[in-house]
Chains A and B, each alone.
Chain A
Amino acid sequence: MKTFYALGLLVIALLTLYLTNTLEWPQRITGTRIDPLPALIVCAAMRAPVLALTLLAVLGSLWQTSLSADPPGISMIPLFAVGVAVSLNRRAIHTRLWGARFAVAAAAGALVPLATVGFLMLLGRQPLLGWFSFWQLAVMSLASGLLTLIFFPLLEWLDQAVEDQPFAAPYDTTTRINRKPY
């Protein structure tokens, strides 16, 4: 478990949630409140262990809903699902290509709010939805993709700064090569 890395991740989540709660100008410009958690969990899932992802999904969701009229933890399952999906497929994603990171985070930025609204409706709540919701979804998706451009280098730096790096790792020691007999 990367303890300091996980703690750093949670601090970043707390700070970005605080900023989205207090800063008014992004909504004045775009008409939409930007959710930083989908982008953060996508970037974290590319490097962090599953325990850190779970902590981020649980605490991030609880913190976010404590500032909102949403029921507590409503976005927990969507966030965790996105994190696990990216984590399980991280070898298939070209994390070094910013376009790939952007695409994955943009998809997460649309899926997480959609699933959250779905859960709200299942609970019998009546969220404000209309034609403007499509615009908001598009902005959230785009913003989520763009946020990876900040979060990914930041988390990479954090990982290198607070965790011990192996002296030498010329190849991936966790990979097993299964040779089939010909």
Chain B
Amino acid sequence: MNLRPYVYATGFVLGLAAVLLALSPRSAGQVKLAAGSFFVPLYSAEAGLQRVRNYAANKTASRDELLDQNQRLALTNEVLRIQIQQLRATAEENKTLRIQVAFAATNQWKLRLGQVTGRDPANWWRTLQINLGSRHGVREGLPVLTPDGLVGRVHEVHPNRSRVALIGDPACRLSINVQPSRENGILTADGATVFDHTIVNLKFLPAHTEARGGDPVVTSGLGRLFPRGIPVGKLLSVEPAPGALNSRARVKLAVDSSRLNEVWVILP
């Protein structure tokens, strides 16, 4: 057997791998962008198919069904408008009180809706891809959420797409606050099981914690990466640690990332 082609090919692959693995994060991002451009026709075809499916669904939906849906949406809209009025009054009150006690004013979120276009093919990361990029104002580190709660943060930005590191990924550790007891802790990457990715470990709770199973968990706002008060999940169980400096707990996340189709990015 002629081994010369194998020797040349091995040399080429080893050399190329060495160059690729030594690239700076920026250059690595450009290489990934170039390689990812091969999938653009497939994503476009999928978007086209989706449009055709939506068109067909719109054409075949019955008038009674649409009227019924419209009526329900109008009712929900009215309820939400009343709630907004009530919240607006509370916000005004909050603003006045903040001025009186010289607290920094809170900004209103600028939200942008993105669609989930893919999930990480590797089993050792927990990330997903959305169809918003730097051209849409997305930057690294921005929080990503749904109406149910926090999803993660933007980890990698390309012109037309971004990668979101989900809660539970090593790139998305966050400081949280357990609601009734107001104790802070850190959500870490470990704790998930094979079939349930919505369970994560909470570390660095006070040793004599008052937190109990069922307590709501929200972002603490520490570190200024995530705004304060975004729902994260609920405590499943707390492991008391007598004699230790801090105790641990398990948290059930509010958002099941495996069923996400759309997410909101909080723009700066």
Contact = CB atoms under 8 A, between A and B. Distances in A.
Contact of A127 (B6, B36, B124, B194): B124
B258 A63 contact: no
Given A54-B9, A88-B6, A68 B120 contact: yes
Contacts of A103: none
B156 interface: yes
Contacts, number: 153
Bin chain B's interface residue count.
35 or more
Contact of A132 (B12, B31, B168, B194): B194
Interface string B28-55: 1001110110110010001000000000
Interface of A: 14-15, 17-18, 20-22, 24, 27-28, 31-33, 35, 49-51, 53-54, 57-59, 62-74, 76-77, 80, 84, 87-88, 113, 116-117, 119-120, 123, 126-130, 132-133, 135-136, 140
A133 B125 CA distance: 12
Contact of A68 (B38, B117, B122, B258): B122
B149 to A, nearest CB: 20
B127 interface: yes
Interface stretch (B13-21, B175-183, B214-222): B13-21
B6 A84 contact: yes
A31 B119 contact: no
Q: Which of A53, A57, A73, A120 has the most CB of B within 10 A?
A: A73
A84 B11 CA distance: 13
B13 A64 contact: no
Contacts of A130: 190, 192
* Top 5 A-B residue pairs of the complex, sorted by shortest distance between their CB atoms: A127-B124, A31-B194, A66-B36, A66-B35, A73-B20
B36 A69 contact: no
A69 B123 contact: no
A133 to B, nearest CB: 7
A51 B5 contact: yes
A58 B16 contact: yes
B31 to A, nearest CB: 4
B21 A135 contact: no
A147 to B, nearest CB: 14
A14 B40 CA distance: 11
